[in-house]
Amino acid sequence: MDNKNNVVEKKSDSAISNDFNLEEYENTNPFDKNLINIDDNITDLGTKIVIENEETTNRFNFRALDLINKIRRDPPSYANTILENMKYITTENNKLIFKKKVKVLLNKGEEAFKNAAESLKQMKPMDDLVKKNEIVIPLPLNEDEINDNTLLVNQVNNIRQNYNINVYFKNLIKNPEIAVLLLIVDDSKNNPGAKRKAILNPAFRKIGINSRFIGTTFVSLFSFSK
């Protein structure tokens, strides 16, 4: 099969930590071989990863923060965006997925999208988040370490010796618009909505975003602080 036509199904979330307690969202590897090689004309993983790495990273960091702050300024207006994107929810191979440039495995699908939209409709405007380098979490050095949560906890605890990090989580989607959408919806099996609550917590004023390709995998780490 031509790799250019492959789409990787991804989990919409991996791990979140709140008050020092790390919670596993998914026990399966988002790059499980059983989820790869689905024939499709859409691809999220570019073939020129090395060339696009810096451009993709810069765009992701800038655009993700810009989107998050626009949502914080007017949460109810983003509710319509969430509802409009429900048309990309479908079932394939007996799996509920969100299919828009990437294929992302879902849990409750439309129910989660509707709940997220309703939640945003009830929110009031809040201050922008300001990017702070001191709470940016170092990224793994190789693909073997991407799902090493012990390493992630250690990295965060090292930062916490000097700076406070209240919540942090990982994202594996390189498109910032889709990543932010699915982080806001947060259709997780465990503790659904936790990421949305972090992103739209009016008490949080600082954000750290670190992203890049590690091998062939795009990874971004988000951290939040008061």
Quote the pTM value: 0.78
pLDDT in tens, 27-72: 223 333 332 222 222 333 344 545 557 777 888 999 999 999 999 9
3-class state of residue 98 by DSSP: strand
Domain count, the chain: 1
Would you place residue 207 in the very low, low, confident or very high pLDDT band (cuts 50, 70, 90)? very high
**Residues in CB range of 43: below 8 A, 6 or more apart:** 4, 5, 6, 7
Residue-wise pLDDT for 162-185, tens only, equals 999 999 999 999 999 999 999 999
Pairwise CA distance, residues 137 & 120, whole Å:
28
Closest to 169 in 3D by CA, of 54, 25, 9, 8? 25
Task: Judge whether residue 79 has pLDDT over 70.
Answer: yes
Q: At what angle do helices 75-84 and 49-73 cross, to 10 degrees?
A: 130
Domain hosting 148: range is 3-225
CA 175 to chain centre: 10
Residue matched to tokens 């795009």: 218
